[in-house]
Chains A and B, each alone.
Chain A
Amino acid sequence: MNITGEDLILACSAIGAGLAVIAGIGPGIGQGIAAGHGASAVGRNPGAQGKIMATMLLGQAVAETTGLYGLLIAMLLLFVKPLIG
């Protein structure tokens, strides 16, 4: 079986895509921390649930961005194939 240069690049792109989505670990931990603190905040002050919820969701969405960048890199490597030119 002959492996051409293009095959090699495709295989490496797939590995790279897998590595890129490891970026999902960080946002996972961050969102978990935010949700945990949100829960304890509601426990301490149930009256402010609406505000706490809004703040928590906003913080989580911002924290999520880095993970999404990893996802985008993976998508680019897999479907747009910028390295095969």
Chain B
Amino acid sequence: MNEAILMSASAKDIDFMVHGLYKFELFGQEVWITTSHVCIAIVMLVLVVFSVIANRKLAHAAEVPDTFQNVLELMVEKLSGIVESNMGSHAPKFTNYICTIFVFILVSNISGLFGLRPPTADYGTTFALAVITFVLIHVTKWRNQSFKTIWTDMCSPLPPWLPLWLPINLISEIAVPISLSLRLFANVLSGTVMMALVYGLLAKIAIIWPAALHVYFDLFSGAIQTYVFCMLTMTYITQSYGDEE
């Protein structure tokens, strides 16, 4: 019986790719609007609507909070608590950024539950996020450390007048955004592919039990990866302040 079920499905039932929806020309380049863009737009719409409602609510915040206000306060407290405990005195500058990417990545990862293709399962999205982090790291670094310190740091195992180690350190700097983005991308993509395989190949017996897989791949894995992305971002930024204090 199992064989019959497996035979009845074919590779063309499996679908987890990004699809192009609309094509236009920009400076002689073909540019596609894909399903990822649509999913990002939906995620952003949800977040914007939520923020506006939350803002309205907190404009007339009550002394004794009701349920919704409680949830909001809990969220903000937890998020800024995480940032506070990781970045210490540098926290206030970066709380906004970290909380924003946290909420965005979390909702993106979880959007697989609502039938969207998670936007973070597209390398373009995660790479953009990682590039923002990379720029932040380096802006912070050049603002807070002198050129001499950075140069010594870049030649680090050898003395600064012998920059033999410089290329290797440069590669390890460039590896930061790549590994940061690939980690998030591959985790979310593997979840998406697994769910596509389950629904594509086992379509006839995929009743109710895939919910357990959704809990693992979408909720658990998504939340962990969100946390890890933000933690690493905070760690790198804190590191880039140097150890002058």
Which A residues are closer than 8 A to B by beta carbons?
A: 54, 57-58, 61-62, 64-65, 68-69, 71-72, 75, 79
A65–B180 CA distance with the chains assembled, in angstroms: 9
Identity of the chain B residue whose Cβ is nearest the Cβ of A50 in the assembled complex: B85
Flag whether B166 is at the interface (Cβ < 8 A): no
**What residues of B have a CB within 8 angstroms of the CB of A69 in the complex?**
182, 186
- B225 interface contact, C-beta 8 A: yes
CB-nearest residue of chain B relative to A61? B228
How far is B228's CA from A75's CA once the two chains are assembled, in angstroms?
23
Kindly report which residue of chain A lies nearest to residue B179, judged by CB atoms: A65
A54: chain B residues within 8 A (beta carbon): 231
Chain B: minimal CB distance from A39 (Å)? 18
Q: Is the interface of A mostly helix, strand, loop or mixed?
A: helix
Interface residues of B in 101-129 (CB under 8 A from A): none
Whether B182 pairs with A65 at a CB distance below 8 angstroms is yes
Contacts A71-B190, A75-B193; is A57 near B182 (CB within 8 Å)? no
Kindly report which residue of chain B lies nearest to residue A64, judged by CB atoms.
B183
Given A58-B235, A75-B189, A75-B193, 7 more A-B residue pairs with CB atoms under 8 Å apart are: A58-B228, A61-B225, A61-B228, A62-B232, A65-B182, A69-B182, A69-B186
Question: Do the beta carbons of B224 and A71 come within 8 Å of each other?
Answer: no
Question: CA–CA, A37 to B235, complex, Å?
Answer: 22
- Nearest A residue to B187 by beta-carbon distance? A68
Q: How far is the CB of B98 from the nearest CB of chain A, in Å?
A: 15
A38 to chain B, nearest CB (A): 14
A-B contact pairs, 11 of them (CB 8 A): A58-B231, A61-B224, A61-B225, A61-B228, A62-B232, A64-B187, A68-B183, A68-B190, A71-B186, A72-B186, A75-B189
Residues of A within 8 A of B228 (CB): 57-58, 61
Closest 9 CB pairs of A and B: A68-B186, A61-B228, A65-B183, A58-B231, A72-B186, A65-B179, A71-B186, A71-B190, A68-B183
Interface membership of B17, Cβ < 8 A? yes
Would you call B199 an interface residue if the criterion is a C-beta within 8 Å of the partner chain's C-beta atoms? no
* Interface assignment of B227: CB less than 8 Å from any CB of chain A: yes
**Which B residue sits closest to A59, measured CB to CB?**
B228
- Cα of A65 to Cα of B189 in the assembled complex, Å: 13
- Chain A residue nearest to B235 (CB atoms) is A58
Name the distance in Å between A60's Cβ and chain B's nearest Cβ: 9
Interface contact B232-A72, CB-CB below 8 Å: no
B189-216 residues with Cβ-Cβ distance < 8 A to A are 189-190, 193
Is the Cβ of A57 less than 8 Å from the Cβ of B227? Answer: yes
A66 CB to closest chain B CB, in angstroms? Answer: 10
Residues of A near B179 (CB, < 8 A) are: 65
